[in-house]
Chains A and B, each alone.
Chain A
């Protein structure tokens, strides 16, 4: 199994390590629920070094990447991040991604671990000016209402003015790093992209702070599910278009993208199943693979589901026919006919990710 630069730093925090897309990664440290609640209340520290990073240099390279995604990267302002999806010719989602415009002629692209080889091949076939930095880059996310305060105390002054979905290049220990104010938890948070060589020192420094806690993939999953964020490979696959994945607000209809005709037809006809957050009324959770029924008839399927520690009920994501995907609509799910409702936006409403800073 592949290891991140932080592999040797897990044991000190009692990690349970699992295989995630061929990477040895911590599923949990002290416990999923404890880590989840700590992130919502204080701050969690996550090793996300398995993710892919690409640097696209020059207008030509940026335009080439833009041609593969459903959003507009060409007109992305400097200093801003944008969420998008890399599409195949049929408009199916190969991977979801986040781009950061570092400079007018420099775009930083972050992708998932699962499809990183395919995505790497695809990107580098577009332009020699697209470099795969994944091997040398570690990524540590600091997420939670106290994340900003903690990073300022540790000398990351650069993050002070960052607004939600903004990012910049900075220095730490005389090394160049990238900081984005983004994340996958719904909390005020920062993603630190750093050279492998300093990852261990930074991880230790962050976790020496009394308000932080090491968090694993388990808490990352419960946190993102409560926010209704999809996970590539589970909720979103190459079979699904951005319309089906509820990514319509990230589609730049004025710019060309693969499978545009099909995706436009879906938009106009509305005859597709759409990914929606769902919630149960008890602690019992909908689980991936549960069929979703309306009056006894199967109409959809659950793709993510778990107990939501901050919601206090089962939370998940399910594909439901567009015509029935109305917040408040009731369904049953799974072999025991668990009652679930389609939710209006995120399932957890108190997230601090959008908080204004001075």
Chain B
């Protein structure tokens, strides 16, 4: 997916629409910061998630962290390939490295997330 068309959280998740569903992953900044990703735990399909809920786990050689639902919705699909090939998150954070897909997302929450320009500015503040 093109990063310019995505929405972002302050916890470095991205969310973007494809064929009526919403893909969620972690950002290029997040994967770069974590280094080699070695383990991904995905949510269950059918799970109803609330915005900010920890729904996934990501680990690298150096660190472990939670992935939060960027908006309220229902998990309809998870990227099971990551269980065997977590390095895809490093290689293609906005593509093959997606974590899960949501349906019935809360549109107001989605609109409230940062767009690409706002996220870029947020990263600048973070790294200053």
B77: Cβ under 8 A from any A Cβ: no
B87 touches A283 (CB 8 A): no
A307 touches B35 (CB 8 A): no
B61 touches A218 (CB 8 A): yes
Shortest Cβ distance from residue B38 to the other chain A in the assembled complex, whole angstroms? 4
Shortest Cβ distance from residue B61 to the other chain A in the assembled complex, whole angstroms? 5
Select the residue from B36, B39, B41, B86 with max chain A CB neighbours within 10 A. Answer: B36
A218 touches B59 (CB 8 A): no
B64 touches A28 (CB 8 A): no
List 25 A-B residue pairs with CB atoms under 8 Å apart, sorted by A's residue number.
A28-B35, A31-B36, A31-B90, A32-B35, A32-B61, A32-B62, A33-B36, A33-B87, A34-B36, A218-B35, A222-B61, A283-B38, A283-B39, A283-B59, A283-B86, A284-B39, A284-B41, A284-B57, A284-B59, A285-B38, A285-B39, A285-B59, A306-B62, A307-B38, A309-B38
Known A32-B36, A282-B39, A284-B41; contact A307-B59, beta-carbon cutoff 8 A:
yes
- Interface code A301-320, partner B: CB below 8 Å = 1, 0 otherwise? 00000110100001000000
- Known contacts A31-B36, A222-B61, A285-B64; 17 additional CB pairs below 8 A are A28-B35, A32-B36, A33-B87, A34-B36, A218-B62, A282-B39, A283-B38, A283-B86, A284-B39, A284-B41, A284-B59, A285-B38, A306-B61, A307-B39, A307-B61, A309-B38, A309-B61
**A27: B residues at CB distance < 8 A:** 62
A40 to B128, CA, bound (A): 38
- Interface code B27-70, partner A: CB below 8 Å = 1, 0 otherwise? 00000000110110100000000000000010111101000000
A140 to B90, CA, bound (A): 30
Interface residues of A (CB under 8 A from B): 27-28, 31-34, 218, 222, 282-285, 287, 306-307, 309, 314
A34 to B38, CA, bound (A): 12
**A32: B residues at CB distance < 8 A:** 35-36, 61-62
A287 to B61, CA, bound (A): 10
Interface residues of B (CB under 8 A from A): 35-36, 38-39, 41, 57, 59-62, 64, 86-87, 90
A27 to B87, CA, bound (A): 19
A284 to B64, CA, bound (A): 9
Known A218-B61, A306-B61; contact A33-B38, beta-carbon cutoff 8 A:
yes
B39 touches A31 (CB 8 A): no
**B35: A residues at CB distance < 8 A:** 28, 31-32, 218
A309 to B64, CA, bound (A): 16
**A283: B residues at CB distance < 8 A:** 38-39, 59, 86
**B62: A residues at CB distance < 8 A:** 27, 32, 218, 306
Shortest Cβ distance from residue B19 to the other chain A in the assembled complex, whole angstroms? 30
Instruction: Using CB atoms, name the residue of chain A closest to B61.
Output: A32
**B57: A residues at CB distance < 8 A:** 284
Instruction: Using CB atoms, name the residue of chain A closest to B83.
Output: A283
A284 to B65, CA, bound (A): 12
**B86: A residues at CB distance < 8 A:** 283
**A34: B residues at CB distance < 8 A:** 36
A114 to B41, CA, bound (A): 36
A27 to B59, CA, bound (A): 17
Instruction: Using CB atoms, name the residue of chain B closest to A285.
Output: B59
**A31: B residues at CB distance < 8 A:** 35-36, 90
A309 to B86, CA, bound (A): 12
Select the residue from B38, B59, B60, B86 with max chain A CB neighbours within 10 A. Answer: B38
A151 to B80, CA, bound (A): 44
